[in-house]
Amino acid sequence: MTDATPERLILSGARLIYGTGARAVTERAVVVEGGRIGAVIPEGRHPAGATVLRLDGLTLLPGLINCHVHLCLGAEADPVRALAEDAPATTAIKAVVRARQTVEAGVTTVRDLGGRDGVALAVRDAVRAGLIPGPRVLAAARGVCMTGGHGWRFGREADGPDDVRRAVREQLKAGADVIKLFATGGVMTPGVEPGSPQLTPEEIRAAIEEAKKAGRRTAAHAQAEAGIAACVDAGITTIEHGIFLTEAIASKMAREGIALVPTLVAPEAIIAGGIAAGIPEFAVRKSEAVRGRHVESFQLALRLGVPVAAGTDAGTP
């Protein structure tokens, strides 16, 4: 609230979506008190002295949550290359701008799954302190990958269970809310393939054990079948992408409450932009190769009752 903001504000005339799955309703008004939603009341029963803001033709709904973003990336044709070319200070400034754009788009919570130089952690803290506008940020600091593996340009490379434990502890020391693992190959790193496992089962178990000791949840970039299986067996919290899911793996995820964040829009956007937009040929080729399988895995997860969380991989092309 600012000095120019009324203490009690009535949002009137909009359709209202509660976020429960029920149909949108009309003839309701939202009472905002002290900058927070206080009540939903019937239209026409506005408290005396309140300022009324008419929102006819608009829709009100709860803030959205994006469970997979990268505030350090800017959706350039080759965002990882752009990140490498920017000075750290430039990356931080851009991340602040993206945080504002995110909350202005109605996304009020994001889970940032990997960036450089602690930028996402700094954005998180600045939002919490009221220094900048932005969504609530749950940040992973640097993702843990194998040497030369997917995500190596902004990840923490580690090899062997002991080195992986140290890498996880470094992220915890930095203040990470969640630990991100790059368990398999991916689309945006040249020389690796989505269907290829990377971190070993022993490395994955070591990482998850360290996170659990600190009370932190874990997320795994896991596209290859073997990599997904290793993460699920080790007790991961969420599987990101999950392109090569099988019925056996999905059934276990459903039983154990392991969520899938499918990020279906990410490869679709890469294919839509294509080489003509400057997106690297290898990324377009890999996206086209996994597109159908990705959709099939998502449908399989839905059919078997796997928990699904929304995530867009914002920051990719």
The number of helices, as runs of H, and strands, as runs of E, in the chain is 9, 15
3-state secondary structure of 261: strand
Spell out, as residue ranges, where the chain has pLDDT lower than 70: 1-6
Q: Is residue 256 situated within a structural domain?
A: yes
Per the structure, the complete domain to which residue 19 belongs is given by 8-60
Beta strands in the chain (DSSP E): 8-12, 15-16, 28-33, 36-42, 51-54, 59-60, 64-69, 107-112, 136-139, 144-145, 156-157, 178-182, 217-222, 238-241, 259-261
Helical spans, DSSP H, in 50-117: 79-85, 88-104
Q: Is residue 180 situated within a structural domain?
A: yes
Q: Is residue 315 situated within a structural domain?
A: no
- Same structural domain, 56 and 68: no
Distance CA 145, CA 147 (A): 7
- Same structural domain, 37 and 100: no
Task: Give the pLDDT score at 46.
Answer: 84
Task: Give the pLDDT score at 4.
Answer: 52
Q: What's the chain's average pLDDT?
A: 96
| Prediction pTM value | 0.92
Structure tokens at 95: 């991340």
- Same structural domain, 115 and 54: no
Task: Give the pLDDT score at 6.
Answer: 67
Distance CA 114, CA 316 (A): 12
Task: Give the pLDDT score at 102.
Answer: 98
Structure tokens at 200: 């070993």
Region for residue 39 given its phi and psi (left: phi exceeds 0; alpha: psi -120 to 50; beta: otherwise): beta
Distance CA 175, CA 141 (A): 8
Domain of 17: which CATH number?
2.30.40.10
Q: Helices 225-234 and 201-213 sit at what angle, rounded to 10 degrees?
A: 40
Q: Is residue 203 situated within a structural domain?
A: yes
- Same structural domain, 56 and 80: no
Last residue of a domain, one of 39, 60, 81: 60
129 CB-side CA count, 13 A? 8
Distance CA 21, CA 268 (A): 26
Last residue of a domain, one of 17, 35, 60: 60
What's the one-letter identity of residue 189? Answer: T
Provide the domain count of the chain: 2
pLDDT digits (tens, 9 = 90+) for 163-202: 999 999 999 999 999 999 999 999 999 999 999 999 999 9
- Same structural domain, 40 and 111: no
Q: Is residue 3 situated within a structural domain?
A: no
Distance CA 224, CA 238 (A): 15
What's the one-letter identity of residue 77? Answer: A
